[in-house]
Amino acid sequence: MESWIEFGRGPLFRIAFALMMLGLLRAVALTLIGIVEAYWRSPDKIVNWREVRSQTLAWLFPIKRLWRARPVYSTLSFLFHVGLLVVPLFLAAHVLLWKRSTGLAWFAIPQNLANILTGLAIVAGVGLCLGRLSDSGARKMSRPQDFAWPLLLVVPFLSGFVCTNLAISAKAYQSFMLLHLYSANLIMLLIPFTKLSHCILAPLSQTVTAIAWKFPAGAGDRVAATLGYADRPSWIPKARLDEVPSRERCGEVVAK
Amino acid sequence: MQLTSPEDREKALHTAKKPDVIERQRLSVRYHVEDFEVHDRARRFIEAFAAILKHTNYRVALDQYVRLSAKCSRCTVKCQVYLATGDQNDIPCRRSELLLEVYRRHFTISGALRARLLGDPGLTDAKVQEMAESFYNCTACRRCHFECPMGIDHALLTHLGRYILSEIGIAPRALVVSVREQLTGSSGNTSAIPVPALLDTLEFLSDEIKEGTGRDVAFPVDQTGAEYLFFPAVSDYIMEADTLMGGAAVLSATGGQWTIGTGYFDGINYGLFYNDQILEHVVKRIHVEAERLQAKKILMGECGHASRVAKFFYPTFSGEERPRPVLNIIEYTHKAWKEGRLKLKPNVFTEKVTYHDPCNLARTGWITEQPRELLRAFCSDFVEMTPNRRDAICCGGGSGTVSMDEIRPYRTLVGGKAKADQIRATGAKYCVAPCANCKKQLRELMEDQGVDCQIVGLHDLLYKAIDFESGETHGIVD
């Protein structure tokens, strides 16, 4: 058991963390490349960057706007995210772990605060799952992963809380620590390959949308040519092709 | 907001299509579609999708959205269609998922691998039919985009979905027929108005203005080197005389150097609604006419989609190094009034007046304050609907659905219900809606929902308030 714990805290943690970072970096890089390519392809270079920036920032710190729809669910989501981001990075025990693995260290939050945030994260995580079940729209649309994720994310919080705060036997402690380590590592491995990648990609959405509305010139004709319709624009069904004079078939602009 | 009643829902979902057509086309959508190749639709859909992904910029959006969708259903709060039906299929995210799951399954590595693992057969004809139905229930008003925490633009996906469907032959006949006339017909516009009829109409409008105001206001035709080349929705020439007279009167009163071109005079661009190739070709018509007449700027009339296409797609498709500036007549009028070149008489209208923000003008924040400031200048009882401006509710006839008469019950009993309730709640006598499509939809809405309110354009009312005496008075006499 001890060696599994050491493995989970040591090499496996480093691998999972590295893969997570590389995977997220890849996702960001591909998205940025896609944005630049799309921007370069369209002749229209005017983008409302002020709007893009203000919407991006508003969604990064969405305290006011979350209340517009599903306020209870939104509050739970916000608290969940706070716990998710603060505790793994700033819990004293974790800071030691980071220092051991990367050499970097930073301040730690008081244990009481960590306990509160953990408790909130657990409650919020379960609450999110229930909230998803209780809203008929969300329930019908959700895939299995949408229910599984909040619960999976609760596991390291719950097991970590038990290890830190409850007086349990050594065997029990080891079991919970094992659960804590391996669930956390699993989560890190899954992040780049699932919707959890929104942690790094969501802020790019407003930019992506703005750029996607900038179309390349001539694309429509090239699409038609690729599909073999070069001599038949899509607005004339095949049956009526013979009725149209050939010079107008290609959509040549006719100046009167 | 109340759901549509079951009887209304029944009427809205009833289809006027004949059973033999439905059978022949294997398509039970409510709108009419010209006969097309039915065989092997799913494969051809994917081919069209692939061709589009190859040449366009949609891929970057699809890659982002397919990863990020949280299925949180926050978008339901904003969708006026969902709020009227409560139907799961009208949730914007669910509609988008119809297309996203095709993309994920057929165009991403992880999707293809997962399909192997789970034995997913891929796109089916039934799914293509579902998309053909669903993408035309959405009015692409883009309100849902404000509420999505992952920033997914469901209207972009509706737009793309329709584009792919049109490439396999599924597009509303009403739109296709108009576009065919515009691009290959002899009249060169969606309403099939020949040039002589246009000239007659312009002469008639001049006479009307002379009778009404005593002023000589001509509609300059084919002037070279004019500052503004004017493109209203061409249907205005038939149906919205007041709007055109108002616009012409403003231009005359402010000394605007403008012209209409007989080579091309239609602002309408249905390509925005279903096909990017058409979108481009129609925009190019504007460019060709502007080049022919050496016009300096493009002036769009009171039409939402026409203005949006010109403003946001002319730079892309005109092919010009430095694209001509595009403005909407409301911007022109507002600027002239602000600078004191146009004088408006106050309190010309004492009845209650409200303002409807067309999605294509207001959603990006482009034109929201200008019409309000103008209205407050000559109306004494202006009331707002809530929500408004960027968050305004769609009239229910957006994205070309208004042109499809066969789905009128759906538009007025479902898609436009929220708007009808809003207008009714204001108790207004006039509702100003500066968009040709919104006007048609709202008038049908008022009729079908039993709301007593007159739908007018902005310049319709403004025309009555222009103070010709104190402003600059350069009449362009024929």
The share of chain A scoring above pLDDT 90, in percent, equals 72
Residue A256 pLDDT > 80, yes or no? no
CA of B165, closest CA in chain A: separation in Å? Answer: 11
Separation between Cα atoms, residue A49 and residue A51, nearest integer Å: 5
CA-CA distance, B392 to B390, in Å (whole number)?
Answer: 6
State the pLDDT at residue B462: 95
- Closest-CA residue in chain A for B277? A220
The Cα–Cα gap between A136 and B394 comes to 24
Place of tokens 């693995």: A101
Average pLDDT over residues A12-33: 96
Determine the pLDDT at residue A246: 42
Confidence of residue A236 (pLDDT cuts 50, 70, 90): low
Residues from chain A that touch B78, judged by Cβ atoms under 8 A, are 69
DSSP result, B208-258: HHHHHHS------BS-TT-SEEEE--TTHHHH-HHHHHHHHHHHHHTT--E
Residues paired with B349 in a beta bridge: B379
Contact between B147 and A69 using a beta-carbon 8 Å cutoff: yes
Strand partners, B226: none
Which among B53, B60, B110 is the top mutation candidate for probing chain A, defined by the most A β-carbons within 10 Å of its own β-carbon? B60
Q: Where are the beta strands (DSSP E) in B296-432?
A: 297-300, 326-328, 349-355, 379-383, 430-432
How confident is the model at residue B128, as a pLDDT? 97
By the 8 A CB rule, do B138 and B95 touch?
yes
Rounded distance, CA A167 to CA A173, Å?
A: 9
Q: What is the distance in angstroms between the Cα of B49 and the nearest Cα belonging to chain A?
A: 9
Residue B329 tokens read as 């007549």
Residue burial B384-418, b: 16+ Cβ < 10 Å; e: rest: ebeebbbebbbbbbbbbbbbbeebbbbbbbbbbbb
Question: Are A255 and B292 a contacting pair at CB < 8 A?
Answer: yes
Nearest CA to B458 out of B337, B311, B324 is that of B337
The structure tokens listed for A4 are: 């599994």
pLDDT for the residue numbered B42: 95
Q: Confidence class of residue A245 from pLDDT cuts 50, 70 and 90?
A: very low
Where are the strands (E) in B127-191, listed by range? none
- Which residue do the tokens 């004017």 mark? B230
Q: Which of B145, B289, B319 sits opposite A217 (nearest CB)?
A: B319
Task: Report d(CA B289, CA B281) in Å as an integer.
Answer: 13
Nearest to B81 by CA among B23, B12, B19: B12
β-bridge partners, B379: B349
d(CA B372, CA A91): 54
Q: Quote the pLDDT of residue A239.
A: 47
Helix (H, G, I), strand (E, B) or coil at B338: helix
Instruction: Write out chain B residues lying below 8 Å of A216, CB-based.
Output: 55-57, 316
Rounded to an integer, the average pLDDT of A81-89 is: 94
Cβ neighbours of B52 (radius 10 Å): 22
- The pLDDT, as a whole number, for residue A231 is 61
CA distance B66 to B287: 37
Mean pLDDT per 10-residue run, chain B (478 residues)? 84 87 91 89 96 96 94 91 92 96 95 92 95 96 93 96 94 93 91 96 96 93 96 95 96 95 96 95 95 97 96 95 96 96 95 97 96 96 95 95 94 94 96 96 96 96 89 43
pLDDT exceeds 60 at position A253 = no
Interface residue A167 vs chain B (CB under 8 A): no
Angle at alpha carbon of residue A243, lines to A242 and A248, rounded to 5°: 90
Q: How far is CA B135 from CA A250, B9, B21, B97, B274, in A?
A: 27, 18, 20, 11, 10
- To probe the interface with B, which of A134, A209, A227, A241 has the most B CB atoms within 10 Å? A209
The whole-number pLDDT of residue B17 equals 87
**Cα(A149)–Cα(B176) distance, integer angstroms:** 46
What distances in angstroms separate CA A126 from CA A73, A84, A87, one per listed residue? 11, 14, 17
Give the pLDDT band of residue A103 (cuts 50, 70, 90): confident
Cα(A100)–Cα(A169) distance, integer angstroms: 27
Q: Quick one: average pLDDT of A18-27?
A: 96
Tell me which of B105, B179, B184 to substitute to probe the interface with A (most A C-beta atoms closer than 10 Å): B184
List A residues 186-205 in contact with B (Cβ-Cβ < 8 A): 193, 195, 197-198, 201-202, 204-205
Contact by Cβ (8 Å): A15, A188: no
Q: What is the pLDDT of residue A67?
A: 80
Choose among B61, B78, B275: nearest Cβ to A212. B61
Q: Give me B457's structure tokens.
A: 């354009």
CB atoms within 10 A of CB B154: 27
**What integer pLDDT is reported at residue A63 of this predicted model?**
79
CA angle at residue A113 from A84 to A171, to 5 degrees?
75
Residue-wise pLDDT for B126-151, tens only, equals 999 999 999 999 999 999 999 999 99
Query: Is there a contact between B70 and B147 (Cβ–Cβ < 8 Å)?
Result: no
Q: B310: Cβ–Cβ under 8 A, 6 or more apart, which residues? A: B231, B267, B283, B286, B298, B300, B326
State which amino acid sits at residue B45.
F
With cut-offs at 50, 70 and 90, classify the pLDDT of residue A234: low
> Which residues in chain B are closer than 8 Å to A29, comparing Cβ atoms?
none
Cis peptide bond N-terminal to B387, omega within 30 = yes
Other beta carbons within 10 angstroms of residue B21's beta carbon come to 14
Tell me, yes or no, if A116 comes closer than 8 A to chain B by beta carbon: no
Residue B299, exposed/middle/buried by CB under 10 A (0-12, 13-18, 19+)? buried
**Chain B within 8 Å of A148 (Cβ-Cβ)?**
no
- What pLDDT sits at residue A235? 57
Q: CA-based angle B463:B435:B197, to the nearest 5?
A: 70
Q: What is the mean pLDDT of chain A?
A: 88
Q: Taking 80 as the threshold, does the pLDDT of residue A191 lie above it?
A: yes
Query: Residue B455: enclosing H or E segment and its boundaries?
Result: strand B454-456
H-helix segments, A142-214: 144-165, 170-190, 198-201, 205-212
Nearest to B232 by CA among B224, B242, B48: B242
Q: Please report residues of A whose CB lies closer than 8 A to that of B312.
A: 44, 213
The beta-carbon neighbor of B64 closest among A201, A218, A251 is A201
pLDDT of residue B210: 95
Measured between beta carbons, which residues in chain B are less than 8 angstroms from residue A202? 68, 149-151
* Local structure of residue A194 (DSSP, 8 states): S
H-state helical runs in chain A: 2-9, 11-41, 49-60, 63-66, 71-90, 92-102, 111-134, 136-141, 144-165, 170-190, 198-201, 205-212, 219-226, 246-249
Element (H, E) at B206: helix B195-213
Set of chain A residues whose Cβ sits within 8 Å of the Cβ of B82:
137
Residue A86, both tokens: 């603060």
